Amino acid sequence: MPDMLPPDPSTSSSHAARPGPRSLSHPLSNDAFARHAETLLAVIYPERKDEVLRRLETLMELHRSRLAPRVPEGEPLWSERDQWLITYGDSVQQEGEAPLATLNDFLASRLGDCLSGVHVLPFFPWSSDDGFSVIHYREVNPALGDWQDIQRLSEQRDLMADLVINHCSRESLWFADYLAGVQPGRDYFIEMDPETDVSSVVRPRPSALLTPVHTRRGLRHLWATFSDDQIDLNFANPDVLLEFIGILLYYLEQGARMIRLDAVAFLWKRLGTSCVHLPETHAVVRLLRAIVDHLAPGSLLITETNVPHAENMSYFGLDRLSEQDLTSLEGSAQADEAHMIYQFTLPPLTLHTLTSGDASALTEWAASLPSLPAGCSYFNFTASHDGIGVRALEGLLPDHERDTLVRLVHDFGGYVSMRANPGRADTPYELNISYFDALKGTRRGRDPWQIERFIASQTLMLSLQGIPGLYLHSLTATPNHQEGVERDGHLRAINRRKWQREELEALLSSPNTATHEVFHALKRRMTLRREEPCFHPDAHQQVFDLGPDFFVFERVTHEGRRLLFALNVTDQPRVLPLPESWQGLALTDHLCHDKAFDPAMARRPYQAAWLMEQSVRPPAIEVV
């Protein structure tokens, strides 16, 4: 990616109109797709590209009549109304009812049209890792429901489905084929001599990379990046890639609009390299994007790559665009890799900011984010089914600051998962704790500001450029689920509680619970946000450095409508120093029911503001 200077925070913002939304749906023609696919297959399978292209075109023809554009040609891919929920299919349960049906009814009754989409985490039959060790890719776990339940969810809102593409369960039929030495699974996995030097391979786990397996041909050792129940698939065999393309298209046919490429960074293996982010991996993502844009324009691909920030950004494919393309406001450049990436830096950096009371690192990072080309956006989140990854902090915070977060998480009842490093000691990989409890206090210990601090973290996430995704357990202020860790025996269970609907409804209805206070505060913010054009994912963002006590940025639409976000990140009252371009204006705070803003009045601890000029009327909506 070309070196880019962050915007100068001291520069006054221009009121000039900016370009309109650039995220438009443009399906590829048949000829353009064929040329692009051939180029990519020459990278992936140089000796077999013509054969694989013919097979790919045959496969696509089988699905073409069952797919249609999800967004009309020339229409925006997204808007300020895009707000997603992340949840397991059985996170809310009710006796005598399929959990997917319960989830659908709960979302309709409690959140209505606040949500544009829902990411239902792996809903397939599985053997471990709460769904990410898939046994059958084309089936719905009967304990959750069936494909009709999935389709009903997709009829009410957009649906994100996981393509668990790097590995499968050792209980799968493919693995049974491998053990028996029969096709197709016989060549679906990666055999290695156990004496092979794999020390250069980047690992997300401390376990051994090669796992022993007894087959009809004797003992074999297979590549297993994540666990001995999650066996990596051999994408050097084009049959595997074509199989997964068929699965991806099947998910789109069942109603999914967004496909999450799980652990895709580890897809391609080449000994002597790190086996992460290899050129073939990026070419596969680009090929999947081309297929989606061609057959079902408006459908979206999102890459899940919990890696350092610069590596994560590579999945936009920005390195193939010129600096002029990246800095242009005309939107002529069109990216060809992922539509979205998870903003993995945001969860740990927000946690660092709110527990240290210092916004400096967050301000510097946010100011460094490049302008994105057409058809790209960030997926912002603070919590998910996994822990809080800390690899994204590499190069942004010194190790001693990361270690301070580790100590804080231990103090607040959480755990830390480690990863292996070639030739050196294991290091922290993720913090296992509910995000609500991670904000129980600051480095000085617990304090009375947990709820305010947590709401501030979510308001920040909802305000940043991109599309927000809220984890169900963030909406419900779920504390650490220690019983789950003890029962399931793995650390991530601390943030994967299963609610009984009756219990959850009681908490939501009681004004004296954290669940009630957080849920209704966030629902109000989501209701306001979805009607405010400044929160369009393509609206310009400029970050201001106003000192360590505040995190401040503005969002500007292409018509020139402006909104200033400001957050006191400390546990003390502080007076907000307005940016120069906002000084002397009569302002109202959209978060405080459009009351006049007094620049001399101190902001409360962890108080956020959405400031607008009084002459600019916010949308007239009823907030329940």
- Annotated catalytic residues are 262
DSSP 227: B
* Residue 19 in tokens: 């370009």
Gap between the Cα atoms of 500 and 495, Å rounded: 15
CA angle 380, 14, 557 (to 5 degrees): 40
DSSP 433: S
Gap between the Cα atoms of 541 and 148, Å rounded: 41
| Alpha-helical regions (H) of 369-413 | 399-411
Compute the chain's Rg from CA coordinates: 24
DSSP 619: P
Gap between the Cα atoms of 160 and 299, Å rounded: 10
157 phi/psi in degrees, rounded to 5: -160, 170
Amino acid at 427: T
Amino acid at 297: P
- In 3D space, the residue among 440, 414, 442 whose CA is nearest the CA of residue 354 turns out to be 442
Please say whether the beta carbons of 454 and 518 come within 8 A.
yes
The three-state secondary structure class of 553 is: strand
The three-state secondary structure class of 93 is: strand
Residue that the structure tokens 């307005």 belong to? 578
341 phi/psi in degrees, rounded to 5: -125, 150
